[in-house]
Amino acid sequence: MKFAYADPPYLGLAAAFYGGRHSEATEYDKPETHQKLIDRLSDDYDGWAMSLHTPALKTILPMCSDDCRVMAWVKPFVSFKPGVTVAYAWEPVIVRGGRKRPRTMGTVRDWVAANITLRRGFPGAKPEAFCFWLFEVLNVESSDDFDDLFPGSWAVSRAWETYRRQKRFDFGSTDGADHAQLLLGMDACV
């Protein structure tokens, strides 16, 4: 199966955060560029996920098909911005498709709690716990093709290589523990 993760420059922030890093970054300040990305993901992949920020959710979600689902990356530690009195401490992740999980596999939550990364040299670099959760949500297997469409810091690609080398176990769901937590260690996701 083919899977992809897209972490494009966020709508309305592309020029500010990535304009100096990539000549075409500012295209992502246009909603139609996100629509083209969503169309590509839907046409080319069996399952995909896309990160965005909460202010763009009301614009981007209507571009998605009805079988998409909004999940959350909750950030227990975030940097507070001057003048922002209610912190942006979560990010939406739109997910579509993926491999069906049999009942023998544990249940994965529709959210993950993982701190932001610091000093990665690239804004928006995703932490490994987020990546592992994403692989579990999509139920990606080591033999699958996985494309990190916006590699930036390469954190997601590195996490994919680590994840696919790990031996995976089928823990079942009898005690309510989710597979991603068991794979990562009990306190990595909570």
- CATH code of domain 2-184: 3.40.50.150
User: Beta strands 47-51 and 69-74: pairing type?
Assistant: unpaired
Question: 133 falls in which pLDDT band (50, 70, 90)?
Answer: very high
Q: Please determine, for residue 70, whether its predicted confidence score (pLDDT) is greater than 50.
A: yes
What pLDDT was estimated at residue 153? 77
Mean pLDDT of 90-100: 97
With tokens 């040299």, the residue in question is: 121
Interval 10-59: pLDDT, tens: 898 877 777 766 778 889 999 999 999 999 999 999 999 999 999 999 99
CA distances in angstroms from 101 to 136, 138, 173, 174, 179, listed in the order given:
9, 9, 11, 15, 11
Q: List the domain boundaries for the chain.
A: 2-184
The pTM is what? Answer: 0.83
